[in-house]
Amino acid sequence: MKLVLCSASPRRREFLEKLGIPFEQAPAHLDETQRPGEAPLAYALRLAVEKAATAERPGAVALAADTIVVADGEVLGKPRGRSEAAGMLARLSGIEHRVITAVCVGRRAVAVETRVRFARLSEAQIRWLAASGDGDDKAGAYAVQGLAGAFVERIDGSYTNVVGLPVAETLQLLEEAGVALPWT
């Protein structure tokens, strides 16, 4: 069964490459706006399922994922500039937040939640992180594997989920969908 990755994420691509799983990349382009009243978990799951549906075809199975950051019940998406990134980082400073990644393989979807706690960040640290660009195009304006990782006090759950693809759960979905894994 051929695997199609419905994502432009370099991190998702790198995970699959490191595992030795062959795939083709076909990023999904759709409106990612959260619907009024849509709960964060339902939002992430809907996006993953809709992205996977864009690559449905005979002989192939689609892998799609969507990662969101949730602070005090509000979804923090990708920042639309460094000023917005600084605001998001200030919001995450000193608090625990949730990172939810929904993964869809074929027609089966699961969501994984990880709790992350940031140290209290000074204004100078927030400005520096935002100005670095390290969190550009990333949910919540940070990459745990990047500079912001220096300020993470605790992760409760899957590290790879926070990076953008919960690998253990994804492998299980791929196996169930009949994708040949390197060790099979």
Give the confidence band of 139 by pLDDT, cuts at 50, 70, 90. very high
Most distant pair of Cα atoms in the chain: their distance: 53
CATH number, domain 2-176, options 2.40.110.10, 3.90.950.10, 1.10.10.10, 3.50.50.60: 3.90.950.10
Q: Label each residue of 41-71 as H, E or C.
A: HHHHHHHHHHHHHCCCCCCEEEEEEEEEEEE
66 is catalytic: yes
pLDDT tens digits for 69-115?
999 999 999 999 999 999 999 999 999 999 999 999 998 999 999 99
Q: DSSP states of 82-119 as a string?
A: HHHHHHHHHHHTTSEEEEEEEEEETTEEEEEEEEEEEP
Contact 130, 86 (CB under 8 A): yes
Catalytic residue among 31, 66, 72, 137: 66
Residues contacting residue 71 through CB under 8 Å, at least 6 positions apart: 91, 92, 95, 97, 98, 140
pLDDT tens digits for 31-63?
999 999 999 999 999 999 999 999 988 999 999
**Can you give the pLDDT at residue 34?**
96
**Can you give the pLDDT at residue 53?**
96
State the pTM of this model: 0.95
